[in-house]
Amino acid sequence: MITPNNVVRHELIGLAIKITSAKNKSNVGLEGKIVDETYKTFVIETRKGEKRVFKEHTTLTITLPDKKKVEVEGNILVARPWDRIKKKLPKF
């Protein structure tokens, strides 16, 4: 079960996401569903099509399946999904 305490250790594809701050200001406010994830990026399906967003220097609000919202710094998500799940993170 995904909780606010372990969200970064889970698969994020399929979850709703909103960009709350980013180095690239054109990404701020972007929201949609995560459809793919690479080492450094998310592919988000928005109303206007798919958009690739860098994880680094980005703050994300992720909506969990139980409708709770969690704010996550993208810098801690920079890793391949299968490596991030195994990685030890001090906060999570």
Q: Which domains can be identified in the chain, with CATH numbers?
A: 7-80 (2.30.30.210)
- Average pLDDT value for the chain: 91
How far out from the chain centre does Cα 65 lie?
14
Nearest to 83 by CA among 14, 33, 37: 37
Beta-carbon contacts of residue 86 (< 8 Å; ≥ 6 apart): none
The residue to which tokens 């399946």 are assigned: 65
Per-residue pLDDT at 4 exceeds 60: yes
pLDDT tens digits, one per residue of 53-63: 999 999 999 99
pTM of the model: 0.87
Six-digit token string for 78: 């920079």
Per-residue pLDDT at 23 exceeds 70: yes
Residue 80 pLDDT: 86
Using 50, 70 and 90 to split pLDDT, how confident is the model at 83? confident
- Mean pLDDT calculated for residue range 21-49: 96
Per-residue pLDDT at 90 exceeds 90: no
Six-digit token string for 52: 């690739």
